[in-house]
Amino acid sequence: MAIPVETFFLRPGGQGTLQARIQQMVAEGILSGRFRRGERLPSTRGLARHLGVSRITVTLAYTELVASDYLASRGRSGYFVSENAPEPPEFSPTPRDERVNWDQAIGRRFSSSETIIARPPDWADYRYPFIYGQADPQLFDHANWRLCAMQALGARDFHALAQDHYDRDDPELVDFIARQTLPRRGIVARPEEILVTMGAQNALWLTAQVLLTRQRRAAIEDPCYPALRALLNQTRCRLAPMPVDASGLPPERVPERTDVIFTTPSHQCPTSATMPLDRREALLARARALDALIVEDDYEFEMAYLKPPVPALKSLDADGRVIYVGSFSKSLFPGLRLGYLVGSEPFIREARALRASMLRHPPGHIQRTAAYFLSLGHYDSLVRRIGRALTARRSEMEHAIARHGLDLAGLGAHGGSSVWMRAPSGTDTARLGEALRAQSVLIEPGAPFFVGADRSAAYYRLGYSSIPSERIDAGIARIAEALAPAPDGG
């Protein structure tokens, strides 16, 4: 590869002759790891013109660098970084003399409050990855996705998709969501009531920013998705945790003076509980009585492979108080970063303006590729294929859990991709998780999901969206073994 001439700069106020400064610049590039062995340097003529120096100065500098074996000359082909050039220890340029007091300069901190349940980046190398929310490459329809991407990258679409669309979305994707995706949940919405987002995370974040302030109260399920708690904390609103039961959120637990209720009725996160229809209606009535809004996070509704899902809260919402969050992360793949918000027009207008200010819009090609994939029916077949695979895995999970005597604490009524587990009281599942890692088993300790730490340590979640069916039994066996009391009673 050729090193572009534009990367060469003579620093103003440098010391020494021009020739020496050029030599130093090249040597520094090599020693800092920016220029690598075998890469071609600009021609002497080109570099001289770029730097505004005479060509002979550059030639002399290069000749010196050849003599010191930083460079090698290959006749008419020009100058290259020598194969014997010194290797940098690693890519670490000289540190600056930092003079900023960052503790003071940073106005708001986000790093401490964020609790991401981060799986190890190399999770796919584990033999028993009971993790949640990653894509299974065996199930995804990669070939058709690639064809749809090619179509969206074709000359006809390219020009339109390459432009800045300010606050607008791809009308084809919005149309598909309105006509095909939402009706599956019984939801009817106009395009003005839909906003495409960078995944469900982004949808929740926008919602929180628009609805909440220091003076408002948000009620959240306990346990809940930890990243939701973190993003609500960013608004500095008052947070009221509501303990859930085996049917999800009990409506009577929603406290007085609540402004916004965050709930996951399809599969409560993380317990997997499914809220029955009568409770959904009671929750809507409770919200109406409080004049509160409901944010319904329906993050994996497509995973209803055992029986048809209960209608979404939003589909039962007669007075416009439900804001619905959908995601393509579970049915397509999470690295796509594509989801959507559905709500009344005044709300969507504000969320759209905020999105425009923070990032404009999700990339055009991504939106169009998804629109093609969905409208060509690949999405439907994919959801069915995932459903078949998860049916088998879920049955294997249930059998293995029973066979090895583990304690199941929660299970989605219509499907889902994880189960909620209870370890013997006194177990610290964070430590359990660490111990299991050494045996190539990944589990998700329960503590980060809870607001209070007291009753949480014994729970854990097992995802089965990324583990092949035939490994489930052996993986569960290892968990049971790790949980068994030591034989000598110690």
Select from 18, 53, 66, 149 the one that contacts a copy of itself (CB under 8 A): 149
Residue 245 DSSP code: B
How near is the Cβ of 173 to a copy of itself at its closest, in Å?
14
Binding mask 330-359 for a copy of itself (x = CB under 8 A): ---xxxxx------x-xx-xx-xxx-xxxx
x-marked contacts with a copy of itself along 52-91 as a string, rule CB under 8 A: ---------------------------------------x
Contact between 271 and a copy of itself per CB under 8 A: no
Q: Which is nearer to a copy of itself, 384 or 403 (CB)?
A: 384
CA distance 178 to 183: 7
Judge if the upstream peptide bond of residue 95 is cis by omega within 30 degrees of 0.
no
Site string for a copy of itself, 9-48 (x = CB under 8 A): x-xx----------------x--xxx--------------
Under the criterion CB under 8 A, does residue 120 sit at the interface with a copy of itself? no
Nearest-approach distance from CB 195 to a copy of itself, in angstroms: 12
- Cα distances (Å, whole numbers) of residue 45 to 69, 254, 422: 21, 75, 72
Let me know: does 63 contact 72? Beta carbons within 8 Å: no
Residue 448 is a binding residue for a copy of itself (CB under 8 A): no
- Enumerate residues 6+ apart whose C-beta is below 8 A from 265: 248, 249, 274, 275, 280, 283, 296, 298, 310, 312, 313
Site for a copy of itself in 181-240 (CB under 8 A): 183-184, 186, 188-191, 198-199, 201-202, 205, 209-213, 215-216, 227, 230-231, 234-235
Q: How far is the CB of 467 from a copy of itself (least distance, A)?
A: 15
Shortest approach of a copy of itself to residue 109 CB, angstroms?
6
Closest CB 16 distance from a copy of itself, rounded Å: 18
Quick check: 137 binds a copy of itself (CB under 8 A)? yes
Identify the bridge partners of residue 195 per DSSP, sorted by sequence position: 341
Helix, coil or strand: residue 122? coil
Report if residue 145 touches a copy of itself, rule: CB under 8 A: yes
Q: Which stretch of DSSP H or E encloses residue 64?
A: helix 55-67
Residue 448, number of CB atoms within 10 A of its CB:
18
The amino acid at residue 306 is: L
Nearer to a copy of itself, 365 or 404 (CB): 365
As a whole number of angstroms, the distance between CA 476 and CA 402 comes to: 10
Angle between helices 55-67 and 44-51 (to 10 degrees): 120
Question: For helices 226-234 and 199-211, what crossing angle results, to 10°?
Answer: 30
Site for a copy of itself in 287-326 (CB under 8 A): 288, 291, 293, 308, 311, 315-321
Smallest distance from a copy of itself to CB 268, Å:
20
Q: Is 360 in the site for a copy of itself (CB under 8 A)?
A: yes
100 binds a copy of itself (CB under 8 A): yes
261 binds a copy of itself (CB under 8 A): no
User: Could you give the CA distance from residue 180 to residue 194 in angstroms, rounded to a whole number?
Assistant: 13
